[in-house]
Amino acid sequence: MAVKALPMVRQRGVCCGLPDVDATWASGTADLMKALADPTRLTMIASLWKAKAPICICDFTAGLALSQPTISHHMAKLKEIGLVESEKRGIWIYYRLRANLAPTTRRVLAQLIS
């Protein structure tokens, strides 16, 4: 009976190691980038950035030629990561950028939108 040789397992070397990176920062930044990677959401954020007053959902539906449920879905994603706030006025929802965005988030948005 022939004995099979086990394949040689290669070990990875450690040259210098990686610098410390905060995993919480990486996760939060990845979530922000994922939310902004959608063209509709990026357009919505840019509109809110440039607006002098909150924007009604009806203006988003008309301006982007999308249904109200689609706009609401995108806004829910933006609210979930803390970029957007909303308030109800009568039957309409008005959206604005969150007033107390983190300084780094503000800088990222400023560079993307300017």
Residue extents of the structural domains in the chain: 37-113
pLDDT value at residue 114 = 85
In eight-state DSSP terms, residue 81 is: T
Strands 55-56 and 84-89: what pairing?
unpaired
pTM strictly above 0.85: no
Hey, what are 44's tokens?
């919505």
**pLDDT tens digit at each of 114 positions of the chain:** 666 766 666 666 677 888 899 999 899 889 999 999 999 999 999 999 999 999 999 999 999 999 999 999 999 999 999 999 999 999 999 999 999 999 999 999 999 998
CATH fold group of domain 37-113: Arc Repressor Mutant, subunit A (1.10.10)
